[in-house]
Amino acid sequence: MVRGLYTACSGMLLQMAKQDVIANNLANTNTPGFKKQIAVATAFPGISVSRLGEVKTEADRSKPVPPVAIGWLGTGAAIEEIATDYTQGTMQKTDNPTDLAIAGDGFFVIETPQGERYTRNGSFRVNSEGVITTEQGYSVLGRSGPITVGDQPFTIDEGGNVLAGDSVVDTLRIVRFADDSRLVRVGDDLYADAGNTARDVEQAQILQGYLEMSNVVAVKEMVEMISALRAYEANQKVIQANDQTLDSLINRVGAA
């Protein structure tokens, strides 16, 4: 009976964690380049349950009945990992020359005080020094370092070449990873490479004047949120039922 309380409690904690992940996805529905997260659950080891202790009488002799298997009893569940879905979001045209999108695999490389970081969010700016930066002020890296365009108009072709007039200033540095699942979120829609597996992409396809939007589908996330809430309520009712049974056991049977 007490095991039932712990099992239901683990289920409630699991659904709470799922709701937190879904809420974060919904909050970033309109964040360019955001990749939704998925809470992956795992079950605790189950217990094989058998019926024991029965005795049958044959020819005035009693003998025990062999154990009869009933089945497996679940012992709860927990979050195994928070995975990221890196599928590409929809492209939104903005006609802003500092808005960039990557068609296909790859990440922009950003210079931060903590080292190189990576993002799919191409909502960039040109700072007072003429350097292309993120909204947080971090420099966007080309193959020669931070990209300086000054105060003159510039264009970026599909190959990532940055042109000021007819001159190529630099080429955007785009990287891929052997295993995207090893990327670590570090805030501001940036990722760190935990496995040191970044490889430069020679033929990236860049779209200037476009933004890749979040791959979150709000309707699906709302459905997932409702499902998580219903599962939470079901576990809550299991705890209430166990509590009532324990109350009867202690206050009625114990007093008899």
Task: Clarify whether residues 185 and 113 are in a common domain.
Answer: yes
Are 66 and 100 part of one and the same domain?
no
Question: Do 100 and 187 share a structural domain?
Answer: yes
Please tell me whether residue 191 adopts helix, strand or coil conformation: strand
For residue 117, the enclosing domain spans: 91-212
Mark whether 179 and 129 lie in a shared domain. yes
139 shares its domain with 42: no
Q: Answer yes or no: do 135 and 197 share one domain.
A: yes
| Domain identity same for 65 and 120 | no
Residues 208 and 99 in one domain: yes
pLDDT at residue 9 tops 80: yes
For residues 104 and 189, state if they share a domain. yes
Average pLDDT for residues 93-117, to the nearest whole number? 94
Q: What is the pLDDT of residues 126-136, one digit of tens each?
A: 999 999 999 99
Do 166 and 145 lie in one domain? The reply is yes
Do 126 and 70 lie in one domain? The reply is no
Task: State the amino acid at position 41 in one-letter form.
Answer: A
Handedness of CA 99, 137, 201, 181 (dihedral sign): negative
Q: Average the pLDDT over each of 148-152, 204-208, 217-221, 230-234 and give the range with the smallest value.
A: 148-152
| pLDDT value, residue 14 | 93
Q: Tell me: the pLDDT tens digits for 24-57?
A: 999 999 999 999 999 999 888 877 777 777 777 7
- 229's torsion region: left (phi>0), alpha (psi -120 to 50) or beta? alpha
182-219 pLDDT, tens digit per residue, is 899 998 899 999 877 889 998 889 999 999 999 999 99
Indicate the pairing of strand 206-208 with strand 100-102. antiparallel
Contact 172, 160 (CB under 8 A): yes
Assess whether 229 and 196 both reside in one domain. Answer: no
What domain count does the chain have? Answer: 2
- Torsions phi, psi of 210, nearest 5? -130, 155
